[in-house]
Amino acid sequence: MSRHGVMIVDDHPVVRDGYRRLIELQPGLRVVAEAGDARGAYDGFRNARPDVVVMDVTLPGASGIEAIRHIRQYDGAARIVVFTMHQGAAFALKAIEAGAAGYVTKSSDPKHLVEAIMGVLGGRTIISPDVIEAIARDRIAGSRTRLAELSPRQTEILRLLASGWPEDRVADALSVSRKTVRNNRYQIKGLLALETDAQMVWFAIETGLVQAPRAT
């Protein structure tokens, strides 16, 4: 019996080990590659050509959303399941827009990850119930709609700039020029009707792209 290859992308080796054990207990699945950041995910995908990728969106540097976008640019048929702590609608919608076919939270039962992997392999889109509920709440409340104006790449640039990264560091993380980052900064402000960098930071906090700084 042939087994489908799975690549795991998470920045914690212990967490990856747990995923590997869970996945390799399933008939028909085997782990063929692992990565700890967005660049490693892209390189690992090109080298191992897995049938499905299990991806966290919270990675050092560029996020999993950027990795999804990059992988899908390379292979438009790539099947990616996001497995993350982020339950909010903002990350889920941008991950799906970037090309993810599944979105499951780590607070879900582990069997839901396996079900998502198998569902995505079968050509379905799988979103865990808690995320569907979060998206529905946002839609009913009519909130966070302006984020839809941004592309996944612009969302990633916004997240990194709002996290305090200088333009040159953002450019290096995303493999683009500093001019591209600067142009996108102005475009983001225009699309979101924001005038200052401070307003941009608060928008990112309100939409859940970044966490508010803790009081000291």
Tell me: do 174 and 196 sit in the same domain.
yes
Residue written as token pair 């699945």: 29
Q: What are residue 29's DSSP bridge partners? A: 4
Least confident range from 7-11, 89-93, 108-112: namely 89-93
Please state whether the predicted TM-score (pTM) of the whole model is above 0.85: no
SS3 content of the chain, % helix, strand, coil (to 5): 55, 15, 30
Tell me: do 89 and 162 sit in the same domain.
no
For residues 9 and 59, the answer to whether their CB atoms sit within 8 Å is yes
Tell me: do 73 and 121 sit in the same domain.
yes
Please report the pLDDT score of residue 214 as a whole number: 56
Q: Is the pLDDT of residue 179 over 90?
A: yes
Going by pLDDT thresholds of 50, 70 and 90, the confidence category of residue 206 is confident
Q: Is the pLDDT of residue 107 over 80?
A: yes
Tell me: do 123 and 29 sit in the same domain.
yes
Tell me: do 27 and 113 sit in the same domain.
yes
Tell me: do 28 and 132 sit in the same domain.
yes
Query: Can you tell me whether residue 13 is helix, strand or coil?
Result: helix
Query: Can you tell me whether residue 54 is helix, strand or coil?
Result: strand
Q: Which residues contact 202 (CB under 8 A, 6 or more apart)?
A: none
Tell me: do 16 and 82 sit in the same domain.
yes
The DSSP string of 121-173 is HTT--EE-HHHHHHHHHHHHHT-SGGGGGS-HHHHHHHHHHHTT--HHHHHHH
Tell me: do 84 and 8 sit in the same domain.
yes
Question: What average pLDDT score do residues 127-147 get?
Answer: 72
Tell me: do 40 and 119 sit in the same domain.
yes
What mean pLDDT is reported for the chain? 87
The answer as to whether 94 is a domain residue is yes
Please report the pLDDT score of residue 14 as a whole number: 92
The answer as to whether 214 is a domain residue is no
Tell me: do 48 and 64 sit in the same domain.
yes
* Domain span holding position 155: 145-206
Q: How many residues does the chain have?
A: 216
In tens, the pLDDT along 21-51 reads: 999 999 999 999 999 999 999 999 999 999 9
Tell me: do 108 and 157 sit in the same domain.
no
Q: What are residue 8's DSSP bridge partners? A: 34, 54
Among the three residues 122, 139, 156, which one is the final residue of a domain in this structure? Answer: 139
Count of the separate structural domains present in the chain: 2
Q: Is the pLDDT of residue 216 over 50?
A: no
CATH number for 186: 1.10.10.10
Please report the pLDDT score of residue 174 as a whole number: 87
Tell me: do 38 and 129 sit in the same domain.
yes
